[in-house]
Amino acid sequence: MINWRRLYNKLFDLINKPDPLYFGGPKFIDTIKEIDPYCLNYGQLMEELREKGESTSRKDYFYYLLQKYDEGTRVLIVNAILDKTKQYEPDLSNNINDQLGGIGGVPNPVISAETWNSEKLTSLIKEIDSSITRGDYSRAVTLEYTCLEGFYKAYVRKNVPTEISENEIVRLSKIIKDDLRQKLIDYPEESISIIGNIAHTIDKARNNFSESHFSGDASRWLSVFLKDLMNSTVRLLLNFM
């Protein structure tokens, strides 16, 4: 369970620092609109606050806006804010991320817009975080499989176009390994083999994930561990795309 008041107080301290960390009303609302394009604009929000007799101070109405959303959407909004702050204040940003469920071990990869299906892949990565925070670990593992499979397809489409009809994650990993072995003659074999090992791990976890196999903390650490493996693999392969 997330203590939203405590988390928000830390978040506001972060975005109340001088530029480039500072979030005024328009920047805060524009960030929310990345998640919810139909969020109230600044004028509409001020009108609503005055009608309800609510405070119009930044700290109060930022929290008021967050509270309008369910927890999963709030997580996405906070992650969108942290995406803008972590390069300038990584320690506090990661601390806040930890309060969302400790899912910030390996940073989420930044997928270039030129990458095939980049918008969908970026959306999946954010939804994995949200699923873990909500405790929906089975969905998180399923999304981890889907995201890694999608990125492997993107790699193959870019580098081995003769194999773009392949859709199965383990076979895709073999195609990628064979391609990298040709390009990286002096690279340690273990660093290439791990691409297949991670594909096998996520594939097996997705197929076996149920209450009868995992429960409680085990479900959580497995979904977080798989997310870190996925992020690390994507970050490695981005160097070759």
Question: Are 158 and 241 a contacting pair, CB within 8 Å?
Answer: yes
The predicted-structure confidence for 135-163, as pLDDT tens digits, reads as follows: 788 888 889 999 999 999 999 999 999 99
Report pLDDT digits (tens) over 56-89.
Answer: 999 999 999 999 988 778 888 898 899 899 899 9
Fold classified for 118-240: Four Helix Bundle (Hemerythrin (Met), subunit A) (1.20.120)
Rounded-to-integer distance, Cα 15 and Cα 23, Å: 5
Residue ranges of alpha helices (H) inside 86-168 are 90-99, 118-134, 137-159
Domain ranges of the chain: 4-99, 118-240
Tell the residue number behind the tokens 């890694």, with chain if given.
148
pLDDT category at 17 given cuts 50, 70, 90 is very high
C-alpha to C-alpha distance for 12 and 61, rounded to whole angstroms: 11
